Amino acid sequence: MAAGTCTSIRPRLIGSCSTVRLINGAGVSFSVRISTRTRSQGGGFTAPVSSREEGPSCIFVGPIDSARKETLEALYRQAKNAYYNGKPLILDDMFDRVELKLRWYGSKSVVKYPRCSLLRHSTYADAEDDTSQVLLLATIWILILLFGSSACVLPTFYGLSLVYGGDPFNSGLVYISSSSVPLLTKLNGILLTVLGPAFGYPIASSAVGVLKGLWRNDLTALKGDCPNCGEEVFAFVRSDQSNRSAHKADCHVCGCTLEFRTKVEKSALPLGRKWVYGRIYLVSRPRRDRRSKYS
């Protein structure tokens, strides 16, 4: 500003800095930008404001797939509060990825109550996998597998023992010559050898198929809050079932019809397991059904 005498000053505040236009004695104007706000008072300048507003910053988490649960929860709370205050920290896509990862962790930070969808004009709630119900069903099918395996193996072992002249229930396991075994005993042994696998193998193979489906989450249990009464409900659904033919069930408390819709995500679970979650929608009944219900 030593180029000449300052004859006019017109400050213009822009954000946290101010631009000052000066006119020297030769009539040439030039601009000077000051990084802090200034105030014109009595034809002169006051001291600049020392406070400087810094931009928002978020917690560094690194790759979301390998981030810890506690770090993601801290970022989720910070981003959520900043969004409600009108100063979003991260993009919506990244926020959804963090929320999805926390749901995979089973974090309570992302638990939401039943709410309404303006797009679908329906009420829905989030649904998570119910491990306890899956384990209970798997236990039942393990018992069925043991029964089928026993029905397949034990009659075969006993039948072969009868055919070759041994008595499996004798403590000494004394074997005699097969030529001295009566013909009727041999026929019974052959019959048991054939009928045992014919009866037990289908049961055992069906149990193995169901257990494989439970392990891969092809068949899983989803639980969540009823969108109408808020009580916890669950249902067994197939993950490969199309949402056009979603599984429907009735709430055991209020009796409303519910629709379970599934979503499948690829995860790092071992041996090809999938992660299944979804939503529970409240199915609105026609007015005629409502009148008949309360009449």
CB of 277 within 8 A of CB of 129?
yes
| Residue 150 pLDDT greater than 50, yes or no | yes
| Residue 204 pLDDT greater than 70, yes or no | yes
Q: Cα dihedral angle (45, 51, 52, 54), rounded to 10 degrees? A: -160
Higher-confidence position of 10 and 282: 282
Cβ within 8 Å of residue 95, ≥6 positions away: 76, 79, 83
Higher-confidence position of 22 and 283: 283
DSSP 173-241: --B--GGGS-HHHHHHHHHHHHHHHHHHHHHHHHHHHHHHHHHHTSEEEEEEE-TTT--EEEEEEETTS
Residue % of the chain over a pLDDT of 70:
67
Cβ within 8 Å of residue 119, ≥6 positions away: none
| Residue 145 pLDDT greater than 80, yes or no | yes
| Reported confidence tier of residue 294, pLDDT bands at 50, 70, 90 | very low
**Amino acid letter for position 221:** A
Query: CA-CA distance, 295 to 292, in Å (whole number)?
Result: 5
pLDDT tens figures, 239-283: 876 666 778 899 989 989 999 988 888 766 556 678 888 889 998
What secondary structure, in 3-state letters, does 146-192 show? HHHHHHHHHHHHHHHHHHCCECCCCCCCCECCHHHCCHHHHHHHHHH
| Reported confidence tier of residue 138, pLDDT bands at 50, 70, 90 | very high
| Residue 80 pLDDT greater than 60, yes or no | yes
Q: What is the mean pLDDT of the chain?
A: 74
H-assigned helices in 239-294: 287-294
What number is the average pLDDT over the span 192-219?
90
pLDDT on residue 193: 84
Higher-confidence position of 172 and 89: 89
